[in-house]
Chain A
């Protein structure tokens, strides 16, 4: 295992590599397989700049997510995209993969990992202001910066977000952060089917009450369907929004405003708790929210829909090992197999025109094809 302590050392390793490298942060949100010598970024750790008054933070890619979140919490701020903890969902198998540890901020960006608030605030990629990375030739490249508005040159920051280490190894990321909401409340509706739930969620998300979470679990913690809507703000504001939202969605709605319960409920959604227990492959499907009922209807009985997040736009599904969910997917969107192995690629294959551009970019940024080889096509 390689674990450089500096960016220069990392660049040297990549330059001198004679075979494929398998890139790891903490290894907690690994999707798919890429054989190669393990290269960990955890040696590039530490927050180098944090200006609460400018809403910006810069950290080494290997900085533990927990360290970033703790520093932000001290100033009453947070990562608005609410990165999920995937270890419960992906960490169930033994033996633990090499490189396993604590989630890193670089891993969060490389996976473009966003939680329930993505539907309102945006994804990880929307909060990434700048990156430094080492490309497949061992060249150090910077892009973006540490200011919120920046259109200077091409936005390679976005390109790196969600590229899962296939275009370069992140060494540093700079992020836009936001004030953490002071209060939150949850509007709950029981007993809806998927189509009804999506309709309610759309109605809520189309309201002016800034709904920051809209999820539906066909089986809630008590085994019955529950639809959850979250509002936030200062205390009076959260209460006002919850009340108005409950009126909007109808009489069956109830309001939960116990902070601990609201927090726990949304961590349950964020970390895909309904599907954590038990064997099988896990699929993550992104569709237009109003297509979710059709998607769910088409899936065969062997597919268990655990959760619809993002107002129905993100569907989490479990199925027996080796089944290909994409076969039954008749609506536009994409499906990623986040857990499990089979002949089918983990990442959704792109259309030919797009695939050609992606392959072209990989060939330019990693001409020897040594960074997480074959992971994304």
Chain B
């Protein structure tokens, strides 16, 4: 993976840039010591590292605007950062960039149950948004698996999803408004507590723009009343095809489960070894969860098990209470930890049409043999969002490169069958150079035009999302 060569003019002026930042931020909010900036050298995609020139940690929208003005004036690239949990390298710095971290901005600004909304500063973590309203019976729906740590700012930048988005949608479906600072340092308000925009849907394009259009400092989020209850059923099958057909039949039947999770044999084995959840050994395992009152849950689970029974399951386990529900989820929720125990792994995030599931799993298996690297599949089956985990050995020379090549092939396969490169993690640097496999030049040009409008000098997170050669002229200014 390549990053652009740092701008020598910027590197040379480090002292002046730091001084200018110190003029607009408190002393402890400007990190510039070469040892301390290492804390910002990478995000959740730890394979790539590069300490930034400096990091600014503003505590208010005004301070963010001031930092942006300094960087704009001095021609310094800015890399926005929430909690730094991106799996795609969305917050990876370049040596000539200033990291703009919103971690100090984590207040709840307004809670309004009558209108079912909450307004927060975007450094607040995803889970603590729910934490602020759950005693009153509400929750914030998007639930990425990093929700304990990840910030709303990053959720908005990547349009984060989660396990429950089949029913509740992803970030963009739960975002009502933002306060955003442009690269020029202008503060603009988009949307609000009312629904749907007056003019163009700028909110829709800002959400998922990976911090390339502006820095979102405050967000108005939709909160929902908590369901009366939720319970899963676990179903084991002897082949991926059969499990896939079962998912399709459940959806066609008219039930909308809140989550449908799929695990294949390598994943089940790893989770068993790690978490000892007592999963049946089989080729494919489904966990389907439904919500409502006890009566509603019983009726829906009965219907789901009726459908599953027609597909000759090896085993079915219906959770009768919270304890049993917890045990069913235990293995799935420890899947990533279990994989980490075995080996280094790379987590992919392509989406495929649900109907292509058997074919895609078959071809991943073939490729796995060809590359000589094992793969385990965890899958949000209801919405086609796959998470193949490729196992490799980071200490073995060449293994990372091999793993990356294999990953790229899997993602190309996702595109080939009608899907896409990334369902919820974002493009970042990780999938940047594969964008031309999904989009024609005119499609990428159209997206880059949007950035031209918001950030004419291409200073905001510039080396992400678009293949370097495609964006080169624009980045050169």
Contacts and interface: CB of A to CB of B under 8 A. Distances in A.
Contacts of A358: 199-200, 202
Interface string A282-300: 0000111111000000000
Given A118-B195, A147-B353, A358-B200, A290 B114 contact: yes
Contacts of A222: none
Contact of B208 (A155, A163, A350, A357): A155
Interface in B135-166: 137-138, 158-159, 161, 165-166
B227 A208 contact: yes
A104 interface: no
B189 interface: yes
Given A351-B189, A364-B450, A336 B353 contact: no
B114 A361 contact: no
Interface stretch (A37-45, A84-92, A199-207, A268-276): A199-207
B447 A153 contact: yes
Interface in B417-452: 418-427, 431, 435, 438-440, 442-447, 449-452
Contacts of B293: 240
Given A202-B115, A332-B192, A147 B200 contact: no
B202 A354 contact: yes
B112 interface: yes
B205 A158 contact: yes
B188 interface: yes
Nearest to B190: A354
Given A154-B447, A288-B115, A364-B453, A148 B465 contact: no
Contact of B198 (A118, A208, A347): A347
A153 B173 CA distance: 17
Contacts of A161: 201, 204
Contact of B199 (A157, A199, A236, A354): A354
Contact of A351 (B188, B422, B427): B188
A123 interface: yes
A368 interface: no
A365 B444 CA distance: 13
B113 to A, nearest CB: 6
B383 interface: yes
Contacts of A158: 172, 201, 203-205, 207
A141 B446 contact: yes
A357 B453 contact: yes
A320 interface: no
Contacts of A75: 252
A135 B445 CA distance: 12
B352 interface: yes
Contacts of A185: none
B353 A156 contact: no
B341 interface: no
Contacts of A141: 442-443, 446
Interface string A252-278: 000000000000000000000000000
A188 interface: no
Given A122-B173, A126-B169, A149-B423, A336 B383 contact: no
A232 B426 CA distance: 35
A150 interface: yes
A51 B446 contact: no
Given A145-B418, A314-B195, A347-B199, A151 B452 contact: no
A148 B115 contact: no
A348 interface: yes
Given A53-B354, A142-B440, A155-B159, A135 B446 contact: yes
Contacts of B423: 147, 149-151
B197 interface: yes
B321 interface: no
Contacts of B165: 148-149
A220 interface: no
B251 interface: yes
Contacts of A154: 205, 208-209, 447, 450-451, 465
A152 B427 contact: yes
A63 interface: no
Contact of A153 (B194, B295, B435, B452): B435
B299 A237 contact: yes
A353 B454 CA distance: 11
A156 B447 contact: yes
Contacts of B440: 142
Contacts of A365: 446, 449
B359 interface: no
A147 B113 contact: no
Contacts of A205: 116, 225
Contacts of A353: 182, 186-189
Given A51-B353, A154-B450, A145 B299 contact: no
B332 interface: no
B128 interface: no
Interface in A116-132: 118-119, 122-123, 125-126
B228 interface: yes
B259 to A, nearest CB: 13
A162 B251 contact: no
B416 interface: no
A372 to B, nearest CB: 12
A351 to B, nearest CB: 7
B251 A53 contact: yes
B355 interface: yes
A76 interface: yes
Contact of B200 (A142, A237, A310, A361): A361
Interface string A164-199: 001100000000001110100000000000000001
A112 B199 CA distance: 11
Contact of B354 (A51, A336, A350): A51
B195 A56 contact: no
Contacts of B409: none
A150 B354 contact: no
A73 interface: no
Given A159-B450, A314-B195, A237 B172 contact: no
A310 B254 contact: no
A118 B222 CA distance: 13
Nearest to A148: B383
B6 interface: no
A202 B114 contact: yes
A54 interface: yes
Contacts of B424: 149, 151
Contact of B295 (A139, A147, A236, A288): A236
A334 B201 CA distance: 13
B159 A151 contact: yes
29 contacts: A51-B353, A125-B204, A139-B446, A140-B442, A147-B384, A147-B420, A148-B166, A148-B351, A148-B384, A151-B424, A152-B435, A153-B438, A202-B113, A206-B113, A206-B225, A208-B227, A236-B296, A240-B293, A240-B295, A288-B192, A289-B115, A290-B114, A291-B194, A314-B195, A354-B188, A354-B189, A354-B190, A355-B199, A361-B450
Interface of B: 112-117, 137-138, 158-159, 161, 165-166, 169-170, 172-173, 182, 186-190, 192-205, 207-209, 225-228, 247-249, 251-256, 292-293, 295-296, 299-300, 351-355, 380, 383-385, 418-427, 431, 435, 438-440, 442-447, 449-454, 465
Given A126-B172, A149-B380, A180-B254, 17 more contacts: A54-B354, A76-B252, A141-B446, A147-B383, A147-B420, A148-B384, A152-B421, A153-B435, A153-B444, A154-B209, A158-B203, A163-B201, A205-B225, A237-B296, A355-B199, A357-B188, A377-B199
Ranked nearest first, the 9 interchain pairs of A and B with the lowest CB-CB distance are A158-B204, A53-B248, A334-B198, A149-B423, A360-B453, A179-B254, A348-B198, A353-B188, A288-B193
